[in-house]
Amino acid sequence: MRKILIFAEQGFTIVALMMFSGAVLNVILSGGAGQQSLVEYDSSLIRIVFFFIYAVTFLLLVLRWKKTLYFLILSKDVWLYSLIILSAVSITWSFAPAITLKNSFTLISSSLFGVYFASRYSLKQQLHLLALNFGIIIVLSFVFAVALPKYGIQTDIGSPKLRGVFMHKNGLGSRMVTSSIVFFILGYQTQRRSWIFWVGFSLSVLLLLLSTSTSSLINLLILILAFFAFQIWRWSYLVMVPTIIMMATIIQTFYFWFSNNSELLFTSLGKDATLTGRTEIWPLVIDRIWKHPWLGYGYGGFWQGWDGESAYIWRIVGWVPSHPHNGYLALCLDLGLLGLGLFLLGYWRSYLQGFASMRRSKTALDIWPLIHMTYIALASTTESSLLESNSLNWMLYVAASLSVRMTHEIKVKS
């Protein structure tokens, strides 16, 4: 009976991870429409499934209330808790209180799943469950592309691009970055049957390339380099210090080169210097941020179409972005500089504790939280997936941050 319950719980976790990944349901319910089509569709089924996930997550946390309470208290992630509370409290000054109420509820609920994921499973178990989730997504993406091209191929952006089980090709690209890293770490760490994980890594990279998501490909290359760079932290100080100095010199040299040759690099990658219009939006967004700099417009209170503050940006740029394509600017719009400050303080502390915990360990698995936090920082420069409810990136950030803090506190006390 116990094995059946464990199997059922793991099945629930996989379903939840699929939903947080944004796979399958959105693209099917939209009838295969792309993001450029702005098609409205009935998403009640998605809301029902998420409500089921929230309810089961809350029940599982309550059933293990002692462990949950111990985990939350020991992790002491005050900055993270404060940021989530601030999003809920922002209903009092929000420009769209109903939207803020709904979004803050889903943010709290998806964050609770991150708490459950971190407190219920070890890092090794988390990665194996993520690998199973992405394995299903990879298989379905190829099936959709071949057997259901109406859903698997995106045709509203010029030449057709593979999007698999996602609404947009960039959605496939960003998920395959996480998928590639998960399979890479497991393949690097596992001795027996590691070929399974290397096949998963290869297929993830293949899907990423077929999605033609340039930013995702660059992020993946940076993360793989970061994986090996982080292991330098485990070396003796005599070797580690000069190595870090040499790497810092190389990075600084590349930065100066990039500053003078950015247009050449973007052209070679098939991109324009405005990052597909992103840099045209950012000054306008910053101008709106300074209208309400400290507390913002409320969580989800800015982008309300022609009836909201976003109309100012839409009129000027001549198209209708639904977010600023930058996670840090999106956070400032929602919760002001106070919200951004709370995030950065919590992020920095978790990042430092991740390095401390990694130095005391010898497995590749302990690098995962640092890798995902690095990915969050990278992806947020061009996408608005930082403080996003029902998002795999945010849920995994909560889990990674709490796992790092829990590991750090346990090792300090021991």
Q: How many Å apart are CA 9 and CA 53, to the nearest integer?
A: 11
**Cross-strand pairs, 153:** 162
From residue 241, alpha-carbon distances to 76, 219, 355, 395 in Å are: 31, 26, 15, 34
Calpha distance 113→95 (Å, rounded) = 28
> What is the arithmetic mean of pLDDT over 9-33?
93
pLDDT at 37 over 90: no
Work out the mean pLDDT of the chain and round it to a whole number: 88
Q: What is the tens place of the pLDDT at every residue in 381-402?
A: 988 878 998 999 999 999 999 9
Model pTM greater than 0.85? Answer: yes
Q: What is the pLDDT of residues 63-84, one digit of tens each?
A: 999 888 888 887 788 999 999 9
Under DSSP, the state recorded for 154 is E
E-strand spans in 225-273? none
Q: Which pLDDT score is estimated for 192?
A: 82
Residue 79: closest CA among 330, 323, 345: 345
Q: Which pLDDT does position 195 carry in this prediction? A: 94
List the chain domain ranges: 2-122+236-413
Separation CA 113–CA 120 (nearest Å)? 10
Tens digit of pLDDT for each residue in 226-263?
999 998 887 776 777 777 678 767 766 775 676 666 56
Residue type, 190: T
| CA neighbor of 50 nearest in space, from 123, 103, 88, 122 | 103
pLDDT of residue 255: 59
Burial classification of residue 76, based on how many CB atoms lie within 10 Å of its CB (0-12 exposed, 13-18 middle, 19 or more buried)? middle
β-bridge partners, 161: 154
End-to-end CA distance of the chain: 35
Q: Are 161 and 153 in contact (CB under 8 A)?
A: yes
CB atoms within 10 A of CB 150: 12
Q: 154 - beta bridge partners?
A: 161
* pLDDT at 131 exceeding the cut of 90: yes
Q: Where are the beta strands (DSSP E) in 156-255?
A: 161-162
Q: Who wins on pLDDT, 108 or 319?
A: 108
- Give the dihedral sign, CA 74/79/80/82: positive
| pLDDT, position 406 | 80
Phi-psi category of 275—alpha, beta or left, where left has phi over 0 and alpha has psi -120 to 50?
left
Of 38-47, 53-62, 92-101, minimum mean pLDDT range: 38-47
pLDDT for 182 = 98
Count other Cβ atoms within 10 Å, centred on residue 108: 15
Tens of pLDDT, residue by residue over 303-338, are: 988 888 888 898 888 778 888 889 999 999 999 999
Residue 18 pLDDT class (50, 70, 90 cuts): very high
Q: Examine the pLDDT at 412 and tell me if it is beyond 60.
A: no
For 169-212, write each residue's pLDDT tens digit: 999 999 999 999 999 999 999 888 899 999 999 999 999 999 99
